[in-house]
Structure 1
Amino acid sequence: MRPVLPLLAALLLPALPALPAMAETVPVGMFSAGDLAGWEDKSFKGQTQYELAPGPAGTVLQASTDGMASGRFKKIRVDLARTPVLNWSWKIEAPYRDIDESTKVGDDFPVRVYVVVERGLLGLRTRAINYVWASAKPPGSRWPNPFTGQAMMLAVDSGPAKAGAWVSHKRNVRDDLRAAFGDDVTEIHAVAVMTDGDNGGRRARAWYGDIFFSSE
């Protein structure tokens, strides 16, 4: 007589569903844990104020500017072949009004998250893509930064419709860099956030949630 348990196991195992593979993640900004380790300051004009503050599901990074422009950045190598998807959430009090973001005087955003690729001697081939909450340009718009051709702007939100609410995003950075610059970039070297109003003397308050990369 054949053993019963091995026979039952042979019959049942093929019917068990396969477990989904766990998505790989790379943490960048774990603000919900009150963690600002590794984040440095970069000032362009004065100081935007950044501080950890209570949010709807833990701590968030609050930013406020009154005609100032400084950002927080974190140097981190991320393999875009393994984890190409940037995940983040943000909230703004209100968008800027009556500006043209493609001009130098209009290059202000209540929130922006951007990634930096450092390449070339003295950074001459450095590339950056800025994900922004635009005021006039519709979501999906892409345009060169008016100050440098090494950076591309990409509007993922626009206007007042979602102001005051948390908005979450997922972007395939490898695909976006390829579309913006024509290169297949497989590694980024820094991530930054900035709330700025220096070019037009604008005022804003905004909030950033956790930032991380994932495989999908």
Structure 2
Amino acid sequence: MAISNPFRYPPTDNRLPRLLLAVILACPPGLALASEPRFTPTDILNWEKEVFEGETQYEPVEIDGREALHASCDNSASGLYLKKTIDLERTPILEWSWRVDETFSGIDETTRAGDDYPARVYVVKDGGLLRWRTRAINYVWASEKPEGADWPNAYASQARMLAVRSGAPDETGQWVTERRNVREDFRQLHDREIDTIDAVAIMTDCDDTERTIEAWYGKIRFLPE
């Protein structure tokens, strides 16, 4: 797939700004998903793949009595994404579940050297012909940044990071369900009023820190407010 990427900083850097996962490409016009779009771990596994450095392994598993997508990362960075218009006027609430047993230590997530996350779920608003207007929000399970913190991505400032969770849980094996109002988050983080998004993605990456990490993803769905 040909990549036309205006968010490469500096211009000579041959790395794609990972947060956008190539979904900044023109998304073909299409109908919004039906009300309450829902994606099972098996659905997510069949999303398009984007590989940056090595390949994070994603496989369906059953754990804790539930279906999940297991992400296993070994000095790698690759993600899964779906390019699809989702109507935020009808379903602005993004809900997902995830599990992380450990996080990274001693990293600065605001730098490229520390731009690794055990788990992230993110949404993208495509800028169309105006590529520089593309915006993304990464909902991340942070390692060092405190819960609730937000900051520009180290590779592409058009993507904002939001620490929904931070640090390893007190007990391993704990699933957490999150809910975010995507319209409100775009308003607060990007000062944008939007009615739709054009893509949703997940990624577990550990190539910048050259370490290993794993995570589990459950269902992802969009709900009415």
- Fold-level match, TM-score > 0.5? yes
2:40 to 27, 30, 36: 30
1:63 partnered with 2:71: yes
Q: What's the CA shift string for 1:9-66, capped at 9, x where partnerless?
A: xxxxxxxxxxxxxxx5211x212xx334750100111100001111334321110111
SS in 2 for 1:95: coil
Q: Deviation above 6 Å: which 4+ runs of structure 1?
A: none
Which residue of structure 2 lines up, in the alignment, with residue 8 of structure 1?
A: none
Structure 2 residue aligned with 1:12 = none
1:90–1:207 Cα contact (<8 Å) kept: yes
Distance 2:156 2:112 in 1: 10
Q: Which of the residues 100, 104, 110 maps onto 1:96? A: 104
Higher mean displacement: 139-148 or 120-129:
120-129
1:93 CA drift (Å): 2.3
Structure 1 gap segments, 5+ residues each: 1-23
Q: Does 1:197 align with 2:212?
A: no
2:10 aligns with none
* Contact persistence 1:174–1:185 (CA under 8 A): yes
TM-score of the superposed pair, with normalisation by structure 1: 0.84
In structure 2, list runs of 5 or more residues that go unmatched.
Answer: 1-34
The one of 177, 180, 194 equivalent to 2:186 is: 177
Distance in 2 of aligned mates of 1:188 and 1:83: 11
Q: Determine if contact 1:94/1:164 at 8 Å carries over to the other structure.
A: no
Q: Which residue of 1 aligns with 2:87?
A: 79
Alignment match, 1:46: 54
1:206 aligns with 2:203: no
Native 8 Å contact 1:134 1:158 kept in 2:
yes
In 2: Cα distance, 1:118 partner to 1:154 partner? 19
Give the distance between the partners of 2:132 and 2:122, measured in 1 at CA.
18
Aligned length: 190
Q: Shift of the alpha carbon at 1:149?
A: 1.1
Distance 1:107 1:132 in 2: 11
Q: CA RMSD in A?
A: 1.5
In structure 2, the CA distance between the partners of 1:38 and 1:185, relative to structure 1 (3 Å rule), is: farther
TM-score normalized by structure 2? Answer: 0.81
CA distance in 2, matches of 1:38, 1:165: 25
- Structure showing greater Rg: 1
Residue among 160, 167, 190 paired with 2:176: 167
CA contact (8 A) 1:38 1:75 kept: no
